[in-house]
Amino acid sequence: MRRWILLAGLLVVTFSVHAAPDARVLLKQSDHSRGGGLPGIIWEIRLATREGEKQGEPQRLRVKAITDASVAVTLSPPRFQGAKLLQVGRNMWLTKPGLSKPIPISPRQRMSGQAANGDIAATNYANDYDAEWVGEEVLNGEPCYILALHALHKRTTYDRVRYWVSAPRQVGVRAEFYSLSGKLIKSAAFEYGNHVEYRGRRIPFISRMTIRDALIDSETVMEFGEVTVQGIPAFEFDIGQTQ
């Protein structure tokens, strides 16, 4: 018991001897492992939902994204095949076979289970939120910085986010999402089993995101397949090309 107390005390001392990190720099760095700040990425997402004992219908999407735009194409189930979610800047649209024109939608609308439309796109928190360092915590044995994120505009997926960033790895490991009034809406845990090569660096990349509702027993798991980093032509995000 005394040994455990000593180790815990050492972790606190280790945190305290370092100056508070630059929250903006830390947020931007953590974005790299979720798609932000890269020239372009292509990945596949598999979604599985559960509410209580009921399992939802699995979905599979293929996503192409750059810093300020993304397009997600539904591959399955067959009844949703061909539907596209297009995000350009702070605007988002839905298109699908049979629609005469794209439908404007909100990033906050639920896409599947607990996953909002904005959760599907590449994450670029540094562009959408102001960041403030608010403390440190050892989470699952790993020292983390805690950031308070406040939306810079009304087109963000969430108004406020409490974000845990691993100190040694500089990746986001946990998030709590709040309404403008401060009510906890849901939480998410992130895993990084993927890697990408960029500018001579091997960057850990997200492989799994588990989103849980704050009030009911509901969970959505997003699994990210192999990720490719490459430039993507601008026409891929042209609203006229998505119909």
76 contacts 57 by C-beta, under 8 angstroms: no
**171 DSSP assignment:** -
At residue 242, the pLDDT reads 55
Flag the least confident range among 15-19, 79-83, 87-91, 179-183. Answer: 15-19
Residue 46 vs residue 108, higher pLDDT:
46
At residue 19, the pLDDT reads 65
pLDDT tens across 76-122, in order? 999 999 999 998 888 899 998 888 889 998 888 877 778 887 787 66
Q: How confident is the model at residue 170 (pLDDT cuts 50, 70, 90)?
A: very high
Segment 200-204 mean pLDDT? 89
At residue 4, the pLDDT reads 37
Burial degree of 220 (CB within 10 A; 0-12, 13-18, 19+): buried
Segment 159-185 mean pLDDT? 95
Q: What is the mean pLDDT of the chain?
A: 87
At residue 100, the pLDDT reads 82
Joined tokens for residue 1: 């018991």
The torsion region of residue 17 among left (phi > 0), alpha (psi -120 to 50) and beta comes to alpha
HEC letters along 186-232: EEEEEECCEEEEECCEEEEECCEEEEEECCCCEEEEEEECCCEECCC
Which residues make Cβ contacts (< 8 Å) with residue 27, sequence separation at least 6? Answer: 125, 126, 129, 131, 147, 149, 163, 165
Question: What is the amino acid identity at position 33?
Answer: S
Segment 193-204 mean pLDDT? 89
At residue 17, the pLDDT reads 45
At residue 8, the pLDDT reads 40
User: Is residue 46 helix, strand or coil?
Assistant: strand
218-224 and 228-229 strand pairing: unpaired
* Distances 70 to 76, 136, 173, 186, 242 between C-alpha atoms, Å: 19, 33, 23, 24, 11
Domains and CATH numbers, the chain: 20-241 (2.50.20.10)
Task: Give yes or no for residue 155 having a pLDDT over 60.
Answer: yes
pTM, rounded to two decimals:
0.86
